[in-house]
Amino acid sequence: MRNLTDQLATYASYHRDRRNIGTHFIGIPMILFGVVLLLSRPLWMTDTVIAVTPALFASIVVGLYYLSLDIPLGLFMCIILVSMLKLAAPLAMDSTSTWLTWGIGFFVVGWIFQTVGHIWEGKKPAFVDDLMGLIIGPLFVAAELVFALGGRAALHKEIEARAGKTRVGKNVETR
């Protein structure tokens, strides 16, 4: 199994344009929320702290994977997943048309942001070559947020050593 640095460096190699990374800060949370929302039905138990749904089971599996890669980033992602589960629950309990409209809407608009970013980058999405990119994408955005706030400097440095520095446009490095 590849470790955190391997996973993030591989994903980062497809995302070196700052504009593309920026679109991922919008698109990936939208896609993730859309998936969580769409998996929030059927509702098997609603009288619990978090409704028991396929989204809960998927979040547990993905959260455990993130934790196996890195405890601090894994905990951060688990907080995000739990928050999304809590936000999705009322929409999932609404009418079928409301649930589907919001779920599909978030999913589709998120992919539009992703597509625009990859057009700017001039590279295909990471998941085209490795389906794990679909799971690593949210972790990448979380890590990029932590890096932007000055955290995990050694990890950030190692990822940039492997993937290259970020840039704006095809040839202009920014950091």
- pLDDT mean over 117-124: 82
Per-residue confidence (pLDDT) for residue 7, from 0 to 100: 93
Per-residue confidence (pLDDT) for residue 51, from 0 to 100: 79
Q: Are 38 and 24 in contact (CB under 8 A)?
A: no
Tokens of 41: 């039905």
Distances in Å between the Cα of 83 and the Cα atoms of 35, 126, 133 are: 14, 26, 22
Of 13 and 25, the structure prediction assigns the larger pLDDT to 25
Instruction: Specify burial of residue 56 (Cβ count, 10 A radius: 0-12, 13-18, 19+).
Output: buried
Please state, as a whole number, how many other Cβ atoms lie within 10 Å of the Cβ of residue 53: 22
Per-residue confidence (pLDDT) for residue 169, from 0 to 100: 65
% of the chain at pLDDT higher than 70? 93
% of the chain at pLDDT higher than 90? 69
Per-residue confidence (pLDDT) for residue 172, from 0 to 100: 47
- pLDDT mean over 112-132: 83
What is the per-residue pLDDT across 87-96, written as a single tens digit (0 to 9) for each? 999 999 999 9
- pLDDT mean over 2-16: 89
3-state DSSP call for residue 174?
A: coil
The answer on pLDDT for 175 being more than 60 is: no
Per-residue confidence (pLDDT) for residue 46, from 0 to 100: 63
Domain map of the chain by residue range?
4-163
What is the per-residue pLDDT across 36-95, written as a single tens digit (0 to 9) for each? 999 999 877 667 677 789 999 999 999 999 999 999 999 999 999 999 999 999 999 999
The answer on pLDDT for 30 being more than 80 is: yes
Per-residue confidence (pLDDT) for residue 97, from 0 to 100: 96
CA distance 13 to 44: 41
Per-residue confidence (pLDDT) for residue 121, from 0 to 100: 78
